[in-house]
Amino acid sequence: MRLIDADALGIGKAKRDAFLIPEYADGWNSAVEHIENAPTVDIKTEVAREIFAEIEKLLLDGRIGGKYSVRCINPYKYAELKNKYTKEGVGE
């Protein structure tokens, strides 16, 4: 998946009379509609998912943990934070 800032593209729909061949405007406008109607992703949610996935990978690899892991990572607090920041529309 690639995330883009569609607003930063600075494009909009075109008037048919702005083109020598008016059908070109229809094609252009169709492309703009696809961009406008594309699903959106809450970047904060995506970043949080990546962070928690990386932490879990480090835990499984043993790079975080050992005899001090119980003191360093409270599993209940971790689960609470993960649920809070990885669900759609929260953590904003």
- pLDDT tens digits along 6-65: 878 888 999 999 889 999 999 999 999 998 888 877 667 777 778 777 777 777 766 665
Task: Print the domain residue range for 27.
Answer: 6-37
Secondary structure in 3-state letters for 6-20 = HHHHCCCCCCHHHCC
> How many domains does the chain contain in total?
2
**Confidence (pLDDT) at 83:** 76
In a domain, 91, yes or no: no
DSSP string, 12-59: ----GGGSSSHHHHHHHHHHHHHHHHS----HHHHHHHHHHHHHHHHH
> Is the pTM higher than 0.85?
no
In a domain, 1, yes or no: no
In a domain, 92, yes or no: no
Contacting residues for 42 by C-beta, under 8 A, at least 6 apart: 88, 89, 91, 92
Verify that 60 and 80 share a domain, yes or no.
yes
